[in-house]
Amino acid sequence: MSLTRKIAYNTLIQSIGRAISALIGFGVIAATARYLGRQGFGQYTTVMAFSGFFSTIAGFGISLVVTNELGKKGLNVNKFLSNAFTLRIASSFAILGFGALIGFLMPYPLLVKKAILIDSLAFFLLSFRHVFDGLFFQKLKTIRLAIAEILGRFLTFSLVILAIWQKKSLLSLVWAVAWGNFLQSFLVYLFTIPYAKIRLQADFKLWKYIFDRSWPLALSMVFNLVYFKFDTIILSLMKPEADVGIYGAAYKILELLIAFPILFCSLVLPQFASYRKSDPLRFQRIFQKSFDFLILGTIPLMVFVFFFAPQIIRLVSGPDFDPAILVLRILSLAIGIIFLAALPAHLIVALDQQKKMIWGYLAGAIFAVALDLVIIPFYSYIGAAITTILVEAIILVWSFSLARKAYPLPWDKKILWRSLIAGAGLCFLLAFLSTMNFVLQFFLGASFYLAVLYLIGGLNKEMIQEIISLKK
């Protein structure tokens, strides 16, 4: 089986797994939003955003470094993974513990403060499993990750339904997340046993090696989080909890969807690291095919999210969250930008250009905070959504420019322009079919998009066979 087919196959398997996981995630959001209402769901969103902020910092970029290093030859996998695992536990314990302490100092209700403490534990239980993701990406055995994620999400969903049936409080709903995360991490650890022997190890020389490569990523993540999560925190401090709930109803959908490009690029990252020096032409081909693959999927997704925003919000959160429809339509553009930015962001890691990327994230963070502080008091969640689009556009331009300066990347834009043409046609079709059942609209729209792409050369028989054929 060719490398392209292996990546496509694993992407398909993981995408199916993520799709199932996302559906369960939508179920959790739907049940939680309907049960808690705007105000209660605003508290839930605040808790997840606050703890998630410190959780991502706690990751310290270690998972990306592991994924990149596993693509290199001559690595002692057992020793490297054991030390990365131990380092991730230590960093997560320290930073999430600090975050929980900060949470108790914030001007939130006591219930929210307690929920932040529990959610910090939930993120801790999930954090160290991501160290092992790179092993499965490198071996292209991602079905195990899909199984663990689905079962963990299903346990969370089951416990959420049980808590709602028993009329429990917000704390029980957050505990459901913690137990689901524990199961997910435990299963991933079990799945690593055939490939690596993981122990608690503290080789400080190796820790320094990992730290030297991860701190630029960690600093970038801090700045990234400031513009990606801080809008929710600012919103929670400046506006009623109901406004946070409306924004959260749309933003949670964005968070579930953007897991797909990150997954795909994580599969490609070890290949970038492997062929960067040994086979530049293959490196360039992988980049071009990865870019084409993302473009083909991103454009119709943006169009579908924009046109089906009313159905998505009402299906997921209920009619009480109708103001979130406009927010989701605004964020549909951000979804597309984030999808495309995932590729250069991972490419920069393979090219060891993390330090230069810091300045792009810093610029985005400063711009986001300044604009949020000005626009949120007047436009609330609408202002927060607009800021998200503008900042993500800055990061996209910066990361692509940096990647192309660092490595010669002949960039063929034929698929981009043809996908845009097919996407424009899809917009006109969905506008014309606006009164039709949205399920029929989706299938007709998807068929139309693929047909137009095929007719104008955006897809051909060779490309389709390369993606779907699993023969050697």
Is residue 329 pLDDT above 90, yes or no?
Answer: yes
Quick one: 405 and 449 in the same domain?
no
Residue 13 has a pLDDT of: 67
Q: Are residues 403 and 420 in the same domain?
A: no
**pLDDT-based confidence at 5, cuts 50/70/90?**
low
- Give the integer Cα–Cα distance in Å for 174 and 25: 14
pLDDT at 7 over 60: no
Res. 461: pLDDT tops 70: no
Q: Which pLDDT score, from 0 to 100, does residue 117 have?
A: 92
Question: Mean pLDDT throughout 389-410?
Answer: 82
Asked if 388 and 430 count as a contact pair (C-beta separation under 8 A), the reply is no
Mean pLDDT of 133-159: 81
Q: Assess whether 364 and 436 both reside in one domain.
A: no
Top mean pLDDT of 75-89, 355-369, 377-391 is at 377-391
Instruction: Read off the pLDDT of residues 219-263 as tens digits, 9 standing for 90 and up.
Output: 776 776 666 677 888 888 888 888 988 988 888 888 778 777 776
Instruction: Please state which of the ranges 41-50, 180-189, 295-304, 454-463 shows the lowest mean pLDDT.
Output: 454-463
Domain boundary among 412, 443, 464: 412
Residues 351 and 313 in one domain: yes
pLDDT for position 11? 61
Residues 397 and 431 in one domain: no
Total domains present in the chain: 2
Of all residues in the chain, the percent with pLDDT exceeding 70 is: 85
- End residue of a domain, out of 412, 436, 461: 412
pLDDT of residue 309: 92
Give the confidence band of 470 by pLDDT, cuts at 50, 70, 90. very low
Same domain for 328 and 457? Answer: no
pLDDT on residue 468? 47
Among 186, 64, 59, residue whose Cα is nearest residue 123: 59
pLDDT (0 to 100) of residue 166: 92
Question: Residues 188, 337: one domain?
Answer: yes
* Averaged pLDDT, 336-358: 77
State residue 178's pLDDT score. Answer: 92
Q: Which of 377, 392, 412 is the last residue of a domain?
A: 412
| 373 & 430 share domain | no
pLDDT for the residue 471: 40
pLDDT > 90 in the chain, percent: 20
What pLDDT shows up at residue 74? 60
Question: Tokens in use for 393?
Answer: 């556009």
Q: Is the same domain home to 294 and 392? A: yes
Exposed / middle / buried, residue 326 (Cβ in 10 Å: 0-12, 13-18, 19+): middle
Q: Give the residue with greater pLDDT, 286 vs 466.
A: 286
pTM of full prediction above 0.75: no
Query: Looking at residue 77, what is its pLDDT?
Result: 74
Cα angle, residue 37 at apex, residues 32 and 39 outer, rounded to 5°: 115
**Domain residues for 421?**
414-472
Mean of pLDDT over the chain:
81
Is 307 in the same domain as 438? no
Question: Which residue would you say has higher pLDDT here, 316 or 137?
Answer: 316
> What are the pLDDT digits (tens) for 52-84?
878 877 776 777 677 666 666 666 777 888 888
pLDDT of residue 154: 93
Same domain, yes or no: 41 and 131: yes
Whether 332 and 298 share a structural domain:
yes
Summarised one tens digit per residue, pLDDT across range 81-90 is: 888 888 888 8
Poorest-pLDDT segment among 25-34, 167-176, 249-258, 321-330:
249-258
427: pLDDT confidence band, cut at 50, 70 and 90?
Answer: very high
pLDDT tens readout for residues 197-207:
878 878 788 78
Q: For residue range 151-192, what is the model confidence (pLDDT) as tens digits? A: 999 999 999 999 999 999 999 999 999 999 999 989 988 888
| Burial letters 124-158, b for 16+ CB under 10 A, else e | bbbbbbbbbbbbbbbebebbbbbebbbbbbbbbbe
- Residues 213, 62 contacting (CB under 8 angstroms): no
